[in-house]
């Protein structure tokens, strides 16, 4: 018989899903913000030196990885791309390269979601190894992070035409 999830865990999973790819009342979520975006549009910068949509997507994938790693105690340096935080994109402006980075974002969300779903209820209020933040705090934060970058992408789309 499957174990039922604590209400707090259900709410946190709902929050990350609504911020990422599930219907929500607030408008466009992160995945919705890139729906229909081509590689060429994802690569355009609103101004020189500013981040483009593509970089926003890979940055969001990276932070999903970071929170997963913090929740599991995983080792640093295991993100599929070399570097950290902001990744210069595109390397190649092709639809295939764009789809691969969007797929990376999807994979990092799926891994994060599975990690959260597997957390014991008592773990939500405990601080991690670094002692700064509880698991619940980090999970709420990554949901907010997705929504923040969804808004950034919406603005970039308007700026680049």
Domain limits of the chain?
Answer: 7-160
Instruction: Extract the tokens encoding 83.
Output: 């570097």
Topology of domain 7-160, per CATH? 1.20.120
Structure confidence at residue 75 (pLDDT): 83
**What is residue 30's predicted lDDT score, i.e. its pLDDT?**
98
Report the percent of the chain where pLDDT is more than 70.
Answer: 94
pLDDT at 7: 87
pLDDT of residue 2: 47
97 touches 39 (CB < 8 A): yes
pLDDT at 1: 36
Cβ proximity of 54 and 90 under 8 Å: yes
Exposure string of 68-94, with b = 16+ CB inside 10 Å and e = fewer, is bbbbeeeeeeebeeeeeeebebbeeee
pTM of the predicted protein model: 0.93
pLDDT at 120: 87
Q: Which residues of the chain have pLDDT under 50?
A: 1-2
Name residues whose C-beta falls within 8 Å of residue 122's C-beta, 6 or more positions apart in sequence: none
């Amino acid at each position: 018989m499957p174990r039922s999830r604590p209400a707090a865990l259900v709410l946190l999973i709902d929050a990350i899903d609504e911020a990422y790819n599930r219907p929500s009342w607030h408008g466009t979520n992160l995945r919705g913000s890139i729906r229909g975006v081509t590689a060429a549009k994802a690569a355009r910068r609103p101004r020189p030196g500013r981040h483009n949509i593509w970089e926003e997507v890979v940055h969001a994938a990276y932070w999903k990885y970071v929170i997963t790693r913090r929740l599991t105690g995983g080792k640093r340096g295991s993100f599929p791309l070399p570097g950290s935080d902001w990744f210069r994109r595109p390397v190649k402006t092709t639809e295939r390269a764009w789809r691969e980075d969007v797929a990376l974002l999807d994979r990092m969300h799926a891994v994060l979601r599975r990690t959260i779903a597997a957390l014991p209820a008592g773990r939500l209020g405990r601080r991690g190894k670094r002692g700064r933040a509880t698991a619940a705090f980090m999970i709420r934060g990554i949901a907010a992070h997705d929504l923040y970058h969804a808004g950034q992408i919406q603005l970039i789309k308007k700026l680049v035409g």
